[in-house]
Structure 1
Amino acid sequence: MSSFLPIFPKLLILLNYVFIIIVLFGKKSPSKTISWLLVLYFMPTLGFILYLFFGIDWRKKRIISRISESKYLNEEGNKTTTYRENLLLKGHIEANAKKELINIAATATKLPLYENNSIQVFSNTNTIFQSMINDIENATHHIHLEFYIINNDSTGQILRDALLKVASKNVSIKIIVDVIGSRKSLKSNFFKVLKKHPNINLAAFRPVWIPLVNLKANYRNHRKLIIIDGTIGYLGGMNVGDEYLGKNKRFGYWRDTAIRITGESVNNIQLVFFQDWYFVKKIRLSRNPFYFPDFSNTCFGTSLTHIVPSSPHSNWDTIAQLYFESIASARTSLYITTPYFIPDEALLMALKTAALGGCDVKLLVPGRPDHILTFLATTSFFEEVLASGVQVFTYDPHRFVHSKVITVDNMVASIGSANVDQRSMNINFEITAFIYDKKVVATINEHFMNDLKHSRQIYLSDLQQRSIFIKTAESVARLFSPIL
């Protein structure tokens, strides 16, 4: 070991030069390329660690093979065009007005648009969680869960106990948790009792084999979804843990958004779970009627809904492209809630252009950080979006807003797990629902306006009062923003 130490600095410099060459030929965006070059050159030790963890693009090479996302999703592809055309012909005002969004989602995901849905929007995390537990306890055939974080605390234990209770009634349960997000629970005894039950299967998403040199820190499963008996689905931004129910003193009241879907679109959430289950277990689940019920004889509602997954092994950055089109197509109103606002150049330009064009653009972000670097990167964008006419609001600093919601022109809304940042757009596994239903959108906008009552509007004059230290910190964080 002692003989290795003298050559370590030279080895580090050599590896950094190799990384610099990889960056130059990596065909990333210019902003990402410049950021990595600066970090690697001026901060070689830190740059080496950061690039090893977050910079190397393994997604279409060895670690993430091209799994059969298309195997499951392309089977629905022949339905996509038929469903889209038929539904548009039925006279949906929202669908006709935003048909470009539908075309992008249908083409990129190969998933059909469904109309026979009822959607309930939740804005209170305790209500969300209680509804989930009630539906879980009433399951009769299967429960599929997928979360970035399930904590080993009182909230996590309530979920675990409910799963054990229903598993004893011969209900089949499959759970996917992310290794990074749920690492503390996975290291504890929390999941051991679940693993022992014959009706429960647990899968860890992309295990980290070398914790100290984590080459898999990127490409995490950030999805949050539940499917119950193939007829009820949940998705949104909330994980499972005490802090998400407002029980953590650091964050206080936790504001999040989720939806409960009953009807045909649950089929597409199920397909996404099937894809992820194959990814982690290499087991293909059978497409039987228990997983994919026949909805043709039951009317649930008329909420036109497109379930949109996005992942690093897809051909398209689907959610990023849909966010871009949503913003670019906005004419009268654009309301965005996100805990992390770190847009790329295209999204930023679209947002500023919408505001300059006279659209009522409102952006709501947290008023306090959960991660200081991402918070500073977020606030670094305030000045230029304000100058274009975007209205910026920061949530009550004694609360925390974690919703990932966009509404456009009172016609369409997206709710899911994806933040407005480059990690959600390009790197992580995400899922969101695009909903074309004026009544649902009106409910979401009502929640948004209520959130603004607990928020502070930011003006350019406020930013001028920032200290040199804060401005410098924001500039440094902004430099890192393409790789956060």
Structure 2
Amino acid sequence: MDSEAVAWILLALHVILGATAVAFISARHRPATAIAWMLTIIFIPFVGLLGYLAVGFNRLPQARRDKQRNINALILERTQGLDQTGHRDEWPAGLASLVTLNTTLGALPMVGGNDVELLPDYRGSIAAMAAEIDCATSYVHVEFYILVFDEATTPFFDALARACDRGVTVRVLSDHLASVMNPGRKETLAKLADMGAQYQAMLPLRPWRGQWQRVDLRNHRKLLVVDGRVGFAGSQNLVHESYNKKKNVERGLRWHELMMRVHGPVVREIDAVFATDWFSETDDLLDLDTSPVILDPAAHLVDAQVVPSGPSFENDNNLKLFVAMIHRATERVSITSPYFVPEDSVLLAIITAAARGLDVELFVSEIGDQAMVYHAQRSYYEALLRAGVKIYLYKAPEVLHSKHFSIDSDVAVIGSSNMDVRSFSLNMEISVLIHSAEFVAKMHLVEDSYRANSRRLDLNDWVKRPTWEKFWDSAARLTSNLQ
């Protein structure tokens, strides 16, 4: 076969591949994502195709999604009437539709009668969790994206060991890939095994056991439940504040987090998320709490709704909630996200809110630990600044890793979800929607502390940054839609 014939065959294969990509990819992704993948396949066809086959599918296998649907049905049946414990008559306009949206997508209701405490201190939150574990009499459910036995987390692991010694059932989940990629995996697993805890890796990558999915579909949740009595959720992983990485230690980086401790009916909803993930990984369906809800009249009446999201769901639950919240804001929007690479609808909602005259602010870190994300998020700053959004850069060497935002004076979300495409589509996350003017006032104090330790970005200075920085920011942005 001569070279001309080979060239024509390769051209024909290229055309067929491009046409197939247009037909197959465009129907399965958002337009921006589909265009990015199609251009990649057209310009670097075979490499692009292999890349798409490896990381182009943003949903878990069908069997895993079926499990999610099955347990959703059980949760909905179990929670009938729980929404009546809320304080709907006190809700601001638009909140009821947000609650309905979340219930429809995530199967969990808004419940009242909760007490919520913010824990902004890194070591303090670990100590608080250890203290609650020491009071456990029945079970402890632990689920963290990163779970490492080290100097900082020793009090937590020691409390787990004491609980096991008392005969308390300790179940532990952590993400498999995160465990492999972080120092201390062997020591952590040995510690859990020695104490007698039941450990299961989440989303394991073991093809020889038939356990495989897209590599970067991960479980990013962080939660703890003790006896169904008290729960914790937020942004913090269970690891030293430097993440035990040599480069982080050399740079003096320390992670700043925000966790919350909750009492009340919402604890059973956090526990339902754990039960879902435990069932998905082990086929062991734990008993769901079906006991009547008895409200403590002495507790602060906070309405709260747990919002699970991720590739086990058919919809981007957290994305829809965040966009709807921003559009319903009437006075102010305050967003804290360490990784801010917004989906188009989020970016438009934020810019629109600023154009409506709202006070809109964004807290991000001055420095980043992930180069591609760091440069990609910087590419959005100019458009936000021109729209009137105030951007605050949290000063180094601390990395602001908290993930939350508030609107107006009485609605907030706190959890594990970043404001980026990965958290919207690829990571399994847990967020908690809260209605309470008193709680949001405490959130504003946290935001005030960020502002006091931040440098406000100036548009005139930003547009004058070096050309090479602008190039890398723009180049990194092009990869953000390859999800």
- Evaluate the alpha carbon distance shift between residue 103 and residue 231 of structure 1 in structure 2; reply closer, same or farther with a 3 A threshold: same
Deviation at 1:359, TM superposition (A): 0.5
How far apart in 1 are the matches of 2:388 and 2:411? 22
Listed one character per residue, the Cα deviations across residues 197-240 of structure 1 (whole Å, up to 9, x for unaligned) are 44x210001211259x9853232100000000111000001001
Question: Quick check: 317-326 or 49-58, which moved more?
Answer: 49-58
Contact preservation (8 Å) 1:53, 1:214: no
- TM-aligned CA deviation for residue 418 of structure 1: 0.5
Q: CA deviation at 1:97?
A: 4.9
Aligned partners of 1:307 and 1:432 also within 8 Å: yes
Distance 1:159 1:25 in 2: 48
The answer on whether the counterparts of 1:267 and 1:292 sit within 8 Å (CA) in structure 2 is no
Equivalences, count = 466
1:390 aligns with 2:389: yes
Q: Give the secondary structure class of the aligned counterpart of 2:320.
A: helix
Which residue is equivalent to 1:456? 455
| Equivalence for 1:261 | 262
Take 2:15 and 2:466, find their aligned partners in 1: how far apart are those partners? 35
Higher mean C-alpha deviation, range 248-257 or range 79-88: 79-88
- Of residues 24-33 and 379-388 in structure 1, the stretch that sits farther from structure 2 once superposed is 24-33
* Segment drifting more, 100-109 vs 473-482: 100-109
Query: Deviation string for 1:86-130 (max 9, x for gaps)?
Result: 6355x2144x55222112112222212111110001111121111
Residues 410 and 435 in structure 2, CA contact (< 8 A), matched pair in contact too: yes
Which whole-Å CA distance do the structure 2 matches of 1:93 and 1:303 have between them? 11
The amino acid that maps onto 1:471 is K
Indicate which of 205, 225, 228 corresponds to 1:227.
Answer: 225
Which residue in 1 is equivalent to 2:5? none
Q: Which of the residues 172, 176, 195 maps onto 2:173?
A: 176
- CA-to-partner distance for each residue in 1:154-188, whole Å, 9 max, x for gaps? 22443322211211110100001101111146852
Is the partner of 2:215 in helix, strand or coil?
Answer: coil
The equivalent residue for 1:338 is 337
- 3-state SS of paired residue (1:117): strand
Please list the CA deviations of residues 264-293 of structure 1 after superposition, one character each: whole Å capped at 9, or x if unmatched. 001111111111001000111123xxx666
1:237 equivalent to 2:231? Answer no
Structure 1: which 5+ residue stretches go unaligned?
Answer: 1-9
Give 1:131's aligned residue. 128
> 1:231, 1:293 within 8 Å by CA — same for their partners in 2?
no
1:14 Cα offset (Å): 7.3
Q: What SS does the corresponding residue of 1:114 show, helix, strand or coil?
A: strand
Instruction: State how far apart, in whole Å, the 1-side matches of 2:207 and 2:72 are.
Output: 33
Shift of 1:372: 0.6
1:17: how far off?
7.4
| Structure-2 residue corresponding to 1:3 | none
Aligned ranges 1:462-477 → 2 under 5 Å: 462-477=461-476
Alpha-carbon shift at residue 311 of structure 1 (Å):
2.1
Q: 5 Å matches for 1:148-187?
A: 148-183=145-180, 184=182, 187=185
Change (3 A) 1:443 1:356: same
Deviations 1:21-50 (A, max 9, x none): 346422211211122233334456764564
Q: Residues 163-312 of structure 1: matches in 2 within 5 Å?
A: 163-183=160-180, 184=182, 187-198=185-196, 200-209=197-206, 215-243=213-241, 248=249, 250-287=251-288, 294-296=292-294, 298-299=296-297, 300-312=299-311
What CA distance in whole angstroms lies between the structure 2 residues aligned with 1:122 and 1:445?
A: 14
Distance 2:328 2:13 in 1: 48
> Which residue does 2:325 correspond to in 1?
326
Structure 1 residue 15, shift from structure 2 partner? 10
2-structure distance, mates of 1:229, 1:450 = 33
Provide the residue aligned with 2:356 in structure 1: 357
Q: How does 1:32-181 map to 2 (within 5 A)?
A: 32-43=33-44, 47=48, 50-61=51-62, 65-77=64-76, 82-84=81-83, 87-89=86-88, 91-94=89-92, 96-181=93-178
The alignment partner of 2:237 has SS state of coil
Determine whether 1:437 maps to 2:436. yes
The alpha-carbon distance between structure 1 residues 81 and 279, as it changes in their structure 2 partners (threshold 3 A), is closer
Going from structure 1 to structure 2, the CA distance change for 1:270 and 1:80 (only over 3 Å counts) comes to closer
Counterpart for residue 373 of structure 1: 372
The answer (yes or no) to whether the contact 1:23–1:36 under 8 Å persists in 2 is no
Taking the aligned partners of 1:120 and 1:17, their CA distance within structure 2 comes to 58
Q: Distance in 2 between matches of 1:141 and 1:294?
A: 19
CA shift in 2, pair 1:14/1:219, >3 Å: farther
Paired residue secondary structure (2:178): coil
Question: Which amino acid counterpart does residue 108 of structure 1 have in structure 2?
Answer: L
Task: Give TM-score, length-normalised by structure 1.
Answer: 0.88
Q: Normalising by structure 2, what TM-score?
A: 0.89
Q: CA RMSD of the aligned region, Å?
A: 2.9
Per the alignment, in what secondary structure is the counterpart of residue 66 of structure 1? helix
Residues 1:153 and 1:15: Cα distance change in structure 2 (over 3 Å): farther
* Cα deviation code 1:370-410 (max 9, x no counterpart): 10100111000011111111111111022110011110011
Q: Does the Cα contact within 8 Å between 1:174 and 1:202 map onto a contact in 2?
A: yes
One-letter identity of the residue aligned with 1:68: K
Distance in 2, matches of 1:371 and 1:20, equals: 35
Report SS of the residue matched to 2:159.
helix
CA contact (8 A) 2:58 2:311 kept: no
Query: Tell me, what secondary structure is at the counterpart of 2:112?
Result: coil
Change beyond 3 A, Cα 1:163–1:84: closer
- Structure 1 residue 294 displacement after superposition: 4.9
* CA distance in structure 2 between the partners assigned to 1:49 and 1:240 by the alignment: 35
